[in-house]
Structure 1
Amino acid sequence: MIEKLIRSEIRSFIPYNANQQPYKIKLDANESPFNLPLKVREKLSAFILENPQLNLYPDTDSIQLRQALAEHWDADEQGIIAGTGSDQLIQLISNVFVGTGDKVIYPVPSFGMYRDSCVIAGGVPVQYLLNPNKKFEYSKETIIEGYEKEQPKIIYICNPNNPTGNIMSREDIMEVARHCRNSVIVVDEAYAEFCDVTVIPYVKEYENLLVLRTFSKAYGLAGIRCGYSISCRKLADAINLARPPYNISSLSQYTAQLVLSEKEEIRENIAYLIAQRERMKGELAGIKGIEVYNSYANFILVKADNCSEVYKRLCEKGIFVRAFGHASLLAGCMRISVGTYEQNTIFLDELSTICYNN
């Protein structure tokens, strides 16, 4: 009986199922391998011991966090919204702008929440293809053609793109923003710290431009579920219409503020992971049966001969990566998060052994 009550358009949804089995090395979720900086942990401990006032609701507007972010980015505090990860912000954007029959265009392959949030809001998702035969490159012409044909409320660009790792140039994104004036251009920069490409400075010029960022990747705070958007005030005011009260916990707000103050250690961690990414790309390219896609994020997409068997044997060794099964554009592909030197070395050695023994 319950199934009949579920909206028909979401009956086919598959709940997200993270791999929670015991593991030796976890390289499947694009998490940082680094713990919180020691200074941050000490300050967080002191905050909890002193009086965190967890019996009270948190600041519903995340004022101090937004002030810290505004200073960090030289941005307008009133154009910043904090959310429970980028996921919540993506859903809020759809809830505000997408009604029954409204269209949203988004890249494929990419982050599944762009499509799902549109469907949940009652909209019509329309994909634009990142061609695997062209190394999943973005095409501004393809996006603009989609805009002219579909007249979407929202256009998504994931930059760098997850799971392919490629980027769209700043110039091409801005051309899309200039041309597609009647759509909200959402640029998801969850992994942008690993390529140093951002369009955040341009939100002052384009009222239809919104940038998503997160503390989950480069800052190593996936466990606190905190992301944010940066846009002009008018766009932020619109999204706040659907934001629930008290959406970020007091501990999450405070922890995010603390890591923003430890910029040097975070920069060192990012530089370390970029160096490891480049090392892994080179070594993966030398392994039999492995095709490597270029990446500007903290992960690498590869295509493997007999991928399902390779993935199975890695799991048997307690090494988790993300496999995409028979997904049409990603068939035979695996996404590997960049870990520490030691983790990456173990993974590369095991993968090499598996591939050469196939």
Structure 2
Amino acid sequence: MSIFKSHIRQMGAYKPPLEGRNPHHHLLLDFNERTLPVSKVIEDALVDYIRDGSLQTYPFYGDITAQLADYCGAKDEQVMITNGSDQGIDLIIRASCREGDEVIIPGPCFPMYNQCAMIENLSIIEPAYTRENGFPTEDVLAAINDKTRLIVIANPNNPSGTEVPREDILKIAAAAPDCTILVDECYFEYTKATVCDALDQYPNLTITRTFSKTWGLPSIRFGYVLSAAENIQALLNIRGPYDVNQLALVAARAALSHPEYTHEYVKEVMSVSKPIMEQWLDKHQITYWPSAANYLWLFPQNPELMFNELMAAHILVRPKDDSDGNKGLRITLGTQEQTERLIQVLERCL
């Protein structure tokens, strides 16, 4: 007999394949991370803090929400920092839903949405993305009913990279005013697509973002939520006072003070590497989903061979099947040099 809830015992844990991921031995193109180290400014800020003799004190957040609000074009009271965007997703779902409520999570998608929903024992409705039509806006609207408490919109989606039109997000928010709309903008720096400016007009909007992707700080777990002030206050009632560690704060402040290292990296990925990769895929007639982010979900005729050849060349990518069971590979794009190295190996697979 277990002391825990029966539905939690029956769940499976989300276990991403982290074993053996060593950036000194492999080119990591499997987790949509930044493929270059962070700037020296961030490294120096972390080292200086560690040497300052303050590790024995609890975190003190100061004006970090004001800094983020300035960066986002939001108000200070519309921002809450989190332990990665995963915590933001979890808090929003917990705050919005009771056991038995319905949530709409279009798929395929980032597994954490479903994981958090299953922990709360929610009923999950999963309209399907398609390569041809993208986000299933009409299916989402048709699925809304009196039991719907939350709708997840990943913009862009993972693993497909599909961007959701702004007008569709706001149309859904207007159609379900008593329902939480969770918009995951964790790849915002790549797309610049946001509904942050609509928070005052649509108080049911909640946005999650992260410093794990373009900012290159997934190891220290720093994210934030944007929403109406009353929503942020409610979420703060759940989040612990020390959930975000001080090293994350130090790194985030340093990153925000010198954003050029991120902007330059994003420009190379999106303006150079991605077009090179797309042109190669088009040339060899390899099917892939249109993507607004730093990754492509492709479906070659020989995915296992490609995966194994890349592994042998010390390049890691992520196997991802579509909803019909077709085997695909999600490949992160890095610098031009890294992309050319990737293509050289892929050429051998053909």
State TM-score, norm by structure 2.
0.93
Q: Any idea what SS the aligned residue of 2:199 has?
A: helix
SS of alignment partner, residue 153 of structure 1: strand
Which of 322, 333, 350 in structure 1 is aligned with 2:345? 350
Q: Hey, what's the Cα distance between the residues in 1 that align with 2:304 and 2:41?
A: 43
Deviations 1:60-93 (A, max 9, x none): xx34221210121231212211111111111111
Return closer, same or farther for 1:329/1:87 CA change in 2, 3 Å cut-off: farther
Q: Which residue of 1 aligns with 2:56?
A: 55
Q: CA deviation at 1:108?
A: 0.3
* Distance in 1 of aligned mates of 2:51 and 2:338: 35
> What's the CA shift for 1:10?
4.8
1:89 aligns with 88
- 1:147 equivalenced with 2:147 (yes/no): no
CA distance in 2, matches of 1:214, 1:280: 26
1:9: Cα distance to partner?
5.0
Alignment check: 8 A CA contact 1:76 1:232 kept = no
1:20 deviation in Å?
2.3
1:217 matches 2:213:
yes
- What is the Cα deviation at residue 316 of structure 1? 2.5
1:206-236 deviations in Å (ceiling 9; x for gaps): 1100111110111111111111010111111
Whether 2:239 is the aligned partner of 1:243: answer: yes
SS at match of 1:324: strand
**Equivalents in 2 of 1:263, 1:240: separation in Å?**
27
Q: What residue identity is the alignment partner of 1:30?
A: N
Q: Which 5+ residue runs of structure 1 have no aligned equivalent?
A: none
- TM-score, normalised to structure 1, is 0.91
* Mapped pair 1:126 → 2:125: yes
Partner residue, 1:36: 38
Identity %: 28
- The one-letter amino acid paired with 2:284 is I
* SS in structure 1 of the partner of residue 106 of structure 2: strand
> CA shift at 1:264, angstroms?
2.4
Per the TM alignment, residue 107 of structure 1 is displaced from its structure 2 partner at its CA by 1.2
Contact 1:151 1:183 in 2 (8 A): no
- Show the counterpart of 2:75: 76
Cα drift, residue 44 of structure 1: 3.0
Q: What stretches of structure 1 move > 4 A for 4+ residues in a row?
A: none
CA contact (8 A) 1:287 1:352 kept: no
**In the alignment, structure 1 residue 24 sits paired with structure 2 residue 32:** no
Specify the SS of the correspondent of 1:19.
coil
Cα distance change, pair 9–107 in 1 and its aligned pair in 2 (3 A): same
Which residue is equivalent to 1:309? 305
SS of the residue aligned with 1:248? coil
Distance 1:329 1:174 in 2: 30
2:319 is equivalent to residue 320 of structure 1: no
Instruction: Answer yes or no: is 1:171 the counterpart of 2:173.
Output: no
2:230 paired with 1:229? no
- Between the aligned partners of 1:94 and 1:19, the Cα distance in structure 2 is 26
Cα pair distance change 1:112/1:235, threshold 3 Å: same
Residue 319 of structure 2 is aligned to residue 287 of structure 1: no
Structure 1 SS opposite 2:163: coil
Give the Å deviation of 1:251. 0.7
Cα pair distance change 1:63/1:160, threshold 3 Å:
same
Q: Give the whole-Å Cα distance in 2 for the aligned partners of 1:138 and 1:199.
A: 16
In structure 1, distance between residues paired with 2:110 and 2:325: 13
Q: Is this contact kept in 1: 2:78–2:227, CA < 8 A?
A: yes
SS in 2 for 1:204: coil
Give 1:128 shift.
1.5
Structure 2, gaps ≥5 residues long = none
Q: Report the Cα offset of residue 145 of structure 1.
A: 0.9
